[in-house]
Amino acid sequence: MDFATRAIHAGQEPDPATGATIVPIYATSTFTQSAVGEHKGFDYSRVANPSRVALETQLASLEEARYCAAFASGLGAETAITSLLSAGDHIVVSDDTYGGTYRLFTKVLERFGLGSTFVDMTDLAAVRAAIRPNTKMFWIETPTNPMLRLVDIRAMVALKTAGQLVVVDNTFCTPYFQSPLALGADIVIHSTTKYIGGHSDAMGGAAMTDDAEIAEQLRFLQKTLGAVLSPFEAFLISRGAKTLALRMREHASNAYAIATFLEERDDVERVYYPGLASHPQHELARRQMRGNGGIISMTLRGPESRALDVARTTKLFSLAESLGGVESLINHPARMTHGSIPKAERDRRGITEGLLRLSVGIESAHDLIADLRQALDATDARTTPASRAEAAGSADVSDPERIPATQSQGAPTA
């Protein structure tokens, strides 16, 4: 069956008890047994729940995987996957990665003896140099967050040796635009909070694999660590996933129109979007991906404070964390999603104060462009309200009406 058909029908059989077309929300923590050890496949919802199993079947089908384990969040899935390793093991990690991933690897996993080396995975020589005798995992984001760099999955897989795993975060592309398992990856991870759920109303994560042994270990970690998805969240994410094909086409169409508009403006220094011919890895995008997704990043000309002014001036683009919903969002990575990364490291990666990330929704592209135009026009590249205040010695870019104070201080909120 084609993708759109599988999205609607995989794991979505009518309820055997009532014939309900939609999988019910099995809001139960436990299941009655006819005798000790005799039950209908379910005994406790942390271990398995029919609503979650239906979603796992659906997501496995979309990623064309044999197995799927669903979690309470993307970071819950990351915690389980990294728990496949042991103290003393080493992970090579994409250096342009989500701030929460960086925080997990550097602030938590290192305390348990799991070492990490962050490296530019677009440079295979640098990746080879980062590999150690105890390297057990390659952690890939592609496209990366927020700089939209691409990692050649096949090339990375070719580097691994026996006992090593390649993990690919496929959140930005979704299974509709990219199939990492078909390119040789061992595990695919998603924050289903984003595009798969698609409506900014549910949190979840998932890990998919074709390897039966890995799947068994993930199931063990799922019930042992306990970061499992609730039946209600499973229902919401499954409902959202049914329209993934339609939404991704619209996200990508809108994003391309907006990226083209932004690239033509003199007051935008650089636009990061794989669908543009100017993207340094545009040809890799054409080979590896079936579409370019709905995320755009851009660096503005003018004082760095201008990005803060643009972020508070848009009307349709809501200033918010996260991405992948039907509504458009604007984000200031340095002070929001990537605030947990040290400034020197952010600057090295290009995550400057002048960088903005857009999650392009499925509204009218015409309206979205008009919104960005008015925000950019209202904040002159040479002098903005914030820069004028700075010149007068009274600027406070952490003004609560612009960016919440905790974010301006670099405290990660997501």
pLDDT score recorded for residue 382: 55
CA dihedral of residues 391, 394, 399, 402 (deg, nearest 10): -20
Residues 357-366, mean pLDDT to the nearest whole number: 98
More confident residue, 218 or 348: 218
Give residue-wise pLDDT tens across range 70-123: 999 999 999 999 999 999 999 999 999 999 999 999 999 999 999 999 999 999
Residues 197, 168: Cα–Cα separation, whole Å: 19
- For residue 304, the model assigns a pLDDT of 87
Q: What is the model's pLDDT at position 402?
A: 31
Phi/psi-derived region of residue 214, left when phi > 0, alpha when psi is between -120 and 50, beta in every other case:
alpha
Q: Which of 6, 149, 194, 312 is catalytic?
A: 194
393 pLDDT above the threshold of 70: no
Q: What is the secondary structure of 261-327 as a DSSP string?
A: HHHT-TTEEEEE-TTSTTSTTHHHHHHH-SS--SEEEEEESS-THHHHHHHHH-SSSEE-S---SSS
Q: And the tokens for 64?
A: 């064309």
Residue 103 a catalytic site member? no
- Amino acid 221: pLDDT: 98
Question: Which of 69, 61, 57, 55 is closest to 25 using CA atoms?
Answer: 55
Q: Which of 26, 67, 98, 195 is catalytic?
A: 98
| Percentage of residues in the chain having pLDDT higher than 90 | 88
Output the CA torsion sign for 75, 331, 368, 314: positive
Mean pLDDT of 245-250: 98
| CA 402/CA 319 separation, integer angstroms | 9
Tell me the C-alpha to C-alpha distance, in Å, between residue 271 and each of 81, 148, 168.
33, 10, 24
Instruction: State the pLDDT confidence band at 340, using cuts at 50, 70 and 90.
Output: confident
- Whole-number Å distance between alpha carbons of 368 and 328: 8
Spell out the domains of the chain, with CATH numbers in brackets: 3-241 (3.40.640.10), 244-408 (3.90.1150.10)
Instruction: Indicate the pairing of strand 187-191 with strand 205-209.
Output: antiparallel
**Catalytic residue of the set 15, 43, 46, 399:** 46
- Four-residue CA torsion sign, 278, 281, 286, 289: negative
From 89, 95, 120, 169, the catalytic residue: 169
Q: Give catalytic status of residue 194 as yes or no.
A: yes
Residue 404 pLDDT exceeds 70: no
Residue 249 is a catalytic residue: no
pLDDT at 37: 86
166, 108, 111, 109: which is closest to 137 by C-alpha? 166
Dihedral, CA of residue 232, residue 238, residue 242 and residue 247, to nearest 10 = 80
* pLDDT score of 40: 87
pLDDT score, position 401: 30
Summarize the chain as % helix, strand, coil (round to 5): 40, 15, 45
The pLDDT value given to residue 330: 98
Mean pLDDT, all residues of the chain: 92
Residue in this structure with the two tokens 């851009």, named with its chain if needed: 298
Report residue 154 as tokens.
Answer: 């096949």
pLDDT at 168: 98
Does the pLDDT of residue 366 top 70, yes or no? yes
Band the pLDDT of 383: cuts 50, 70, 90: low
Going by C-alpha positions, the residue among 345, 370, 355 that lies closest to residue 295 is 355
Q: Cα angle vertex 98, ends 79, 166, to 5°?
A: 55
Does the pLDDT value for residue 16 go beyond 50? yes
At residue 62 the predicted structure's pLDDT band, cuts being 50, 70 and 90, is very high
Q: Average pLDDT, stretch 178-189?
A: 98
pLDDT for position 381 = 65
Give the SS3 label for residue 254. Answer: helix
Across the range 333-354, mean pLDDT stands at 91
Q: Which of 216, 214, 189 is nearest to 204 (CA)?
A: 189
Told to judge if 98 belongs to the known catalytic residues of this protein, a careful annotator would answer: yes
pLDDT at 408: 33
For residue 244, the SS3 value is: helix
Cα–Cα distance for residue pair 136/90, rounded to 1 Å? 6
Q: Which helix (H) or strand (E) holds 140?
A: strand 135-141
